[in-house]
Amino acid sequence: MPLSADDLRKACQPNITTVTIPGLGEVCIRTMSLRHRDSYEKAAVDAGGRLPHDFRSEYLSRCICDPDGKLQFDSPEGREQLKDFDSAVCSRLFDAALRHNRMTESDIKELAGN
C-alpha cells in the first residue's frame, strides 16, 4: 500500500549520523532537507561557472546539527564561524557530510560548470 502524505513526512525526517574527530569527540551530521539542498545547488549554479569561494562552509552549515537534528551553523554568523575552524577538522566533516548526503565534490563542481 502506498504511503500517505503523513507517513512520507515521518519517513523523510533528516537522518543523523555522528562523525568522530580524534582528540575532539563526536559531531552530528544530518542529511539536508530538500530546501537546503536546492538552495545550495542554486548557489553553485549562480556562481557563474566557478565554485563559490565558501562552498565548504556553506555546505557544512546545512549539515552540522545537534543530536536532535537542529542545525548549529545555519545563520550568517554561524557560517562565518565555520570559516575560522581548523581546515583538517572541517575537511573530515565535509567529506562525511558529502557521503551522508550522497553527493560528491565532483557533483558540486559539475553544478558550478567546472
Report whether pLDDT(111) > 80.
no
Domains of the chain (ranges; CATH) run 5-111 (3.30.2220.20)
Residues 104, 105, 108, CA angle at the centre, nearest 5°? 95
What 3-state class would DSSP assign to 13? coil
Report whether pLDDT(114) > 60.
no
Report whether pLDDT(86) > 70.
yes
* pLDDT 10s digits, 16-74: 999 999 999 999 999 999 999 998 888 877 877 677 788 899 999 999 999 999 999 99
The pTM assigned to this predicted structure is: 0.86
Beta-carbon contacts of residue 55 (< 8 Å; ≥ 6 apart): 44, 108, 112
According to the model, what pLDDT value does residue 113 have?
Answer: 67
